[in-house]
């Protein structure tokens, strides 16, 4: 055969020698061991990754993930200020200075500098700085800007800052009992007293949460999965209070309280057409920024709603309104005053035991004749009188959006046969009411006969920007328009000719009633000797009332009667209100020159 | 003359063909190697591109976080300024500064009536309508 190709063939290797039996088993044994190790490794991996998957995944997530609660911002509180708002309660960030003792190198210097800046005893700071195993020691919370700046400038190693949110009240004492106070926490804080308490649910909001992976350094990994539930911040509350009216009312009230050295003073200003509270002032006050330093906690209460008292003669116009509405009397109805009414073994006399003889209902109010209102109450009857009492809102809470409101006490009217209770109630003794109930009753007389629910909240602003405006709420009609007009004229006569002359405002038609009430003993029957509460409540202008004002002065030391304490204070407040609202005078201006 | 330890082998045409087929297979195997290399290279490039993209996202994520912090700081500053503004607008402060500003409280108010239909610029003093005693 002819060859097509060729190659060089190398000589073959010698045949291998056969492996011995012992060597072969060692090889197999080694192979088995490797196999066993491999299988056990695979088995373990299977167990860890498949069978125990959930457990290790959660442990890993715990290590890799960071979980943090997201605090809800507490809603803020505002009051009306012209066309805008003025903040009454806001959330403010303050810095807290802390020290990491193990990082502090110049311990003496740090202690000395910090002590000089923050005003804390150097020994106390020294004690904190000299704790080597302590990772964190607070030096001072709520640093001022100046303190923070000075600490930063000192370049102290081991000293750092943490931000903290606190509730701050820019207006200080203004409307303090209405606003109340709150402390901030992770869930929007907790409110104590005032609007901070009553609107706590709306102001607080709800916390959220975020869960995200972190790297070895503890930093969040931006790319990884993030689970987030956004916090729902609290709603902002806008009050009906007017900043200028509130300020001026408090100022006038403070001057009156200081002048008469009274124990307490309260003033309320209401818009009779809507029931909106334009001012609610109570003295003594407190600064909500320093509430923790207050020693007498009673100052936190709002006397306008949380203290009831026997109102005295300011109840008389209510009694007369009932008589006029029931058509039992008119302003010119006459009766004969003998100076005393005898009932159930008691003598009910007029103030200072005066006797007025033949008197009209107009004169009953002008001279504040007790027997005159008893006359009206007798004509009306106990049942009807009690019904109207309730219709005017006495004995029940007004449901104003403020905490700790009292209903007053009208239990003495529960027995229709007890005439003496009804007689004394007709001139405001034997029953208790709150200042707010009384001013709202007068507002009903001023606006044509409609009792409104007092409104302290003007609107709510939710975090998404939606606004909920509160609408005035009518409770019921208590008297007719005609009755309201008649009472208005009678109240005007009190100011022009009666005991309310010092409540006059030149150029305007003002009406109102004084009341000097005795103070009931707290632990026994009867009244405290020498203690009185002077009140004046009224409204203006009489033909179109724009403001209803109540002033209450507790226990004035230099005068006895309300016409010398509450009435002039009312006059000053009403003068300011009428000029502030730019209401043109309609009457002759009387100058003192 | 052939060396002692080797010899020459010759083969037939059929064997030659067999050898040719084997050579072709060998060349194909070489192409597959190139393809595999190409795929590997592509995977490498894609992997690199993916890593770059992931890195960029992470970088942007940190930038976003940094901007969020900056936004928060500005919001805080804004809030603080609003609070300071409220402090400055405090009526207590304003009233306390009236003496510095030499302001006096207006005690008497006189209302003047403007008759627009006749002369809008003329203000009539209507104080005579009030009897001042």
Q: What is the pLDDT of residue B115?
A: 62
The Cα A165–Cα A157 span in angstroms is 25
Close Cβ partners of A551 (under 8 Å, ≥ 6 residues apart): A253, A256, A265, A266, A267, A535, A536, A537, A566, A567, A569, A570, A573
Structural contact between residues A71 and A231, judged by C-beta atoms closer than 8 angstroms: yes
| Distance in Å, alpha carbon of A589 to nearest chain B alpha carbon | 6
Q: What is the pLDDT of residue A430?
A: 92
Q: How far is CA A302 from the centre of its chain?
A: 10
Cα end-to-end span (Å), chain A: 157
CATH number for A70-101+129-147+158-234: choose from 3.10.20.740, 3.30.450.40, 3.40.50.2000, 3.90.1310.10.
Answer: 3.90.1310.10
Strand A467-469 vs strand A181-183: parallel, antiparallel, or unpaired? Answer: unpaired
Pairs of CB atoms within 8 A across A/B: 92
| Distance in Å, alpha carbon of A550 to nearest chain B alpha carbon | 23
Identify the DSSP state of A463. Answer: T
| Catalytic annotation present for A418 | no
Q: What is the pLDDT along chain B (133 residues), one digit of tens a residue?
A: 555 556 666 777 888 888 788 777 777 667 778 888 899 999 999 999 999 998 898 888 888 889 988 998 899 899 999 999 999 998 988 888 888 888 887 777 777 766 655 555 544 444 444 433 3
Q: What is the ipTM of this complex?
A: 0.72
Q: What is the pLDDT of residue A413?
A: 95
Close Cβ partners of A537 (under 8 Å, ≥ 6 residues apart): A314, A438, A439, A442, A512, A513, A515, A548, A549, A550, A551, A570
Cross-chain Cβ contact A584/B62 below 8 Å? no
Q: What is the pLDDT of residue B32?
A: 79
Close Cβ partners of A113 (under 8 Å, ≥ 6 residues apart): A151, A154, A156
**Block residue for tokens 């002359």:** A501
Structural contact between residues A238 and A226, judged by C-beta atoms closer than 8 angstroms: no
Cross-chain Cβ contact A87/B9 below 8 Å? no
Cross-chain Cβ contact A4/B15 below 8 Å? yes
Cross-chain Cβ contact B12/A584 below 8 Å? no
Alpha helices in A100-217 (DSSP H): 107-118, 122-129, 145-154, 176-179, 194-198, 200-204
Q: Give the Cα-Cα-Cα angle A329, A331, A336 (nearest 5 degrees).
A: 70
CB neighbours of residue A451 within 10 Å: 21
Each residue's pLDDT tens digit, B75-90: 989 999 999 999 999 8
Domain boundaries, chain B: 13-129
DSSP three-state, residue A111:
helix
Best residue in B3, B109, B110 for a mutation probing chain A (most A CBs within 10 Å) = B109
Q: What is the pLDDT of residue B116?
A: 58
The Cα A347–Cα A343 span in angstroms is 6
The Cα A235–Cα A456 span in angstroms is 16
**Block residue for tokens 């009206």:** A376
Which residues of chain A neighbour B5 with C-beta distances below 8 Å? 10-11
Q: What is the pLDDT of residue A11?
A: 60
Best residue in B1, B6, B130 for a mutation probing chain A (most A CBs within 10 Å) = B130
The Cα A281–Cα A268 span in angstroms is 6
DSSP three-state, residue A202:
helix
DSSP three-state, residue A181:
strand
Strand A77-81 vs strand A236-242: parallel, antiparallel, or unpaired? Answer: parallel
- Quick one: what percent of chain B has pLDDT higher than 90? 18
Structural contact between residues A73 and A63, judged by C-beta atoms closer than 8 angstroms: no
Closest partner residue to B132 among A223, A247, A591, by Cβ? A591
**Block residue for tokens 């002048």:** A259
Structural contact between residues A301 and A308, judged by C-beta atoms closer than 8 angstroms: no
Closest partner residue to B86 among A87, A93, A220, by Cβ? A87
* Token pair of B56 as six digits: 């960029």
Q: What is the pLDDT along chain A (593 residues), one digit of tens a residue?
A: 445 556 666 666 655 556 566 778 888 889 899 999 999 999 999 998 898 888 888 777 667 777 777 778 899 999 999 999 999 999 998 899 999 988 888 888 899 999 999 999 989 888 888 887 778 889 999 898 899 999 999 898 889 999 888 899 999 999 999 999 987 765 556 777 999 999 999 999 888 888 777 777 666 666 666 778 888 899 999 999 999 999 999 999 999 999 999 999 999 999 999 999 999 999 999 999 998 888 889 999 999 999 999 999 999 999 999 999 999 999 999 999 999 999 888 889 998 899 999 999 999 999 999 999 999 999 999 999 999 999 999 999 999 999 999 999 999 999 999 999 999 999 999 999 999 999 999 999 999 999 999 999 999 999 999 999 999 999 999 999 999 999 999 999 999 999 999 999 999 999 999 999 888 777 777 777 778 899 999 999 999 999 999 999 999 999 888 999 999 999 999 999 999 999 988 876 654 43
* Token pair of A87 as six digits: 């903040």
Catalytic residue chosen out of the listed positions A71, A198, A308, A313: A313
Cross-chain Cβ contact B6/A8 below 8 Å? yes
Cross-chain Cβ contact B58/A7 below 8 Å? no
Structural contact between residues A111 and A159, judged by C-beta atoms closer than 8 angstroms: no
**Residues from A in contact with B at Cβ < 8 Å:** 1, 3-11, 86-87, 90-93, 168, 170-172, 174, 220-223, 243-244, 247, 507, 579, 584-585, 588-591, 593
Structural contact between residues B76 and A93, judged by C-beta atoms closer than 8 angstroms: yes
Cross-chain Cβ contact B9/A6 below 8 Å? yes
Domain boundaries, chain A: 70-101+129-147+158-234, 241-455+470-580
Q: Note whether B105 contacts A: Cβ–Cβ < 8 A.
A: no
Q: How far is CA A76 from CA A184, A285, A344, A504, in A?
A: 12, 21, 57, 39
The Cα A311–Cα A315 span in angstroms is 7
Q: Which CATH superfamily is domain A241-455+470-580 in?
A: DD-peptidase/beta-lactamase superfamily (3.40.710.10)
The Cα B133–Cα B117 span in angstroms is 32
DSSP three-state, residue B38:
helix
* Token pair of A292 as six digits: 């923790």
Cross-chain Cβ contact A86/B16 below 8 Å? no
Q: What is the pLDDT of residue B34?
A: 86
Burial of A453 (0-12, 13-18, 19+ CB in 10 A): middle
Nearest one of A267, A263, A178, A252 to A550, comparing CA atoms: A267
* Token pair of B22 as six digits: 């084997």
The Cα A298–Cα A508 span in angstroms is 38
The Cα A166–Cα A291 span in angstroms is 13
């Amino acid at each position: 055969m002819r060859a097509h190709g060729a190659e060089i063939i190398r000589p073959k290797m010698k045949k291998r020698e056969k492996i011995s039996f012992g060597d072969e088993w060692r090889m197999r044994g080694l192979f088995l061991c490797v196999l066993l190790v491999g299988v056990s490794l695979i088995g373990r991996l299977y167990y860890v990754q498949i069978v125990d998957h959930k457990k290790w995944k959660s442990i890993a997530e715990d290590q890799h993930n960071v979980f943090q609660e997201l605090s809800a911002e507490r809603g803020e509180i505002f009051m009306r200020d012209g066309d805008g708002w003025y903040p009454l309660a806001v959330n403010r960030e303050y810095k807290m200075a802390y020290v990491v003792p193990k990082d502090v190198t110049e311990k003496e210097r740090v202690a000395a500098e910090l002590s000089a800046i923050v005003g804390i005893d150097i020994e106390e700071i020294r004690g904190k700085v000299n704790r080597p195993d302590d990772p964190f020691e607070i030096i001072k919370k709520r640093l001022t800007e100046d303190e923070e700046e000075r600490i930063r400038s000192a370049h102290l190693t081991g000293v750092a800052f943490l931000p903290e949110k606190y509730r701050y009240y820019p207006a200080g004492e203004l409307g303090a009992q209405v606003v109340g106070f709150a402390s901030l926490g992770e869930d929007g804080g907790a409110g104590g007293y005032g609007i901070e308490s009553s609107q706590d649910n709306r102001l607080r909001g709800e916390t959220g949460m975020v869960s995200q992976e972190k790297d070895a350094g503890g930093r969040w990994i931006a790319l990884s999965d993030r689970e987030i539930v956004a916090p729902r911040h609290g709603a902002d509350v806008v009050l009906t209070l007017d900043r200028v009216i509130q300020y001026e009312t408090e100022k006038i009230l403070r001057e009156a309280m200081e002048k008469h050295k009274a124990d307490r003073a309260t003033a309320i200003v209401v818009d009779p057409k809507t029931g909106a509270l334009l001012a609610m002032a109570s003295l003594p006050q407190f600064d909500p920024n320093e509430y923790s330093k207050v020693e007498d906690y009673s100052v936190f209460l709002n006397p306008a709603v949380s203290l009831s008292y026997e109102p005295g003669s300011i109840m008389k116009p209510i009694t007369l309104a009932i008589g006029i509405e029931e058509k039992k009397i008119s302003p010119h109805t006459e009766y004969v005053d003998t100076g005393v009414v005898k009932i159930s073994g008691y003598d009910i006399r007029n103030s200072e035991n005066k006797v007025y003889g033949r008197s009209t209902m107009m004169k009953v109010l002008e001279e504040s004749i007790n027997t005159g209102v008893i006359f009206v109450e007798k004509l009306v009857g106990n049942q009807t009188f009690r019904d109207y009492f309730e219709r005017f809102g006495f004995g029940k809470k007004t449901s104003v959006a403020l905490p700790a409101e009292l209903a007053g006490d009208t239990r003495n009217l529960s027995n229709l046969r007890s005439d003496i209770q009804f007689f004394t109630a007709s001139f405001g003794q034997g029953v208790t009411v709150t200042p707010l109930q009384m001013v709202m009753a007068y507002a009903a007389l001023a606006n044509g006969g409609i009792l409104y629910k007092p409104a302290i909240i003007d609107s709510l602003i939710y975090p998404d920007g939606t606004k909920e405006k509160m609408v005035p709420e009518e409770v019921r009609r208590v008297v007719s328009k005609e009755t309201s007009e008649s009472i208005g004229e009678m109240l005007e006569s009190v100011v022009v000719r009666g005991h309310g002359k010092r409540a006059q405002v030149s150029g305007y038609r003002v009406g109102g009633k004084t009341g000097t009430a005795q103070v009931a003993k707290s632990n026994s029957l009867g009244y405290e000797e020498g203690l009185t509460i002077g009140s004046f409540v009224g409204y203006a202008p009489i033909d179109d009332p724009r403001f209803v004002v109540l002033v209450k002065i507790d226990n004035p030391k230099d005068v006895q009667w309300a016409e010398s304490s509450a009435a002039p204070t009312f006059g000053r407040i009403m003068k300011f209100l009428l000029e502030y609202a730019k209401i043109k005078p309609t009457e002759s201006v009387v100058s003192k020159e | 003359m052939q060396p002692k330890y080797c010899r020459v082998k010759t083969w037939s045409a059929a064997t030659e063909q067999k050898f040719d087929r084997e050579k072709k297979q060998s060349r194909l195997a070489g192409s597959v190697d190139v393809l595999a290399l190409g795929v590997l290279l592509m995977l490498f490039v894609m992997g690199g591109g993916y890593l770059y993209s992931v890195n960029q996202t992470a970088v942007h994520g940190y930038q976003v976080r940094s901007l969020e912090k900056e936004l928060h700081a500005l919001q805080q500053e804004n809030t603080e300024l609003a609070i300071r503004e409220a402090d400055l607008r405090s009526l207590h402060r304003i009233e306390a500064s009236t003496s510095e500003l030499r302001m006096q409280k207006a005690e008497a108010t006189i209302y003047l009536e403007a008759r627009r239909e006749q002369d809008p610029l003329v203000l009539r003093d209507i104080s005579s309508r009030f009897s001042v005693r």
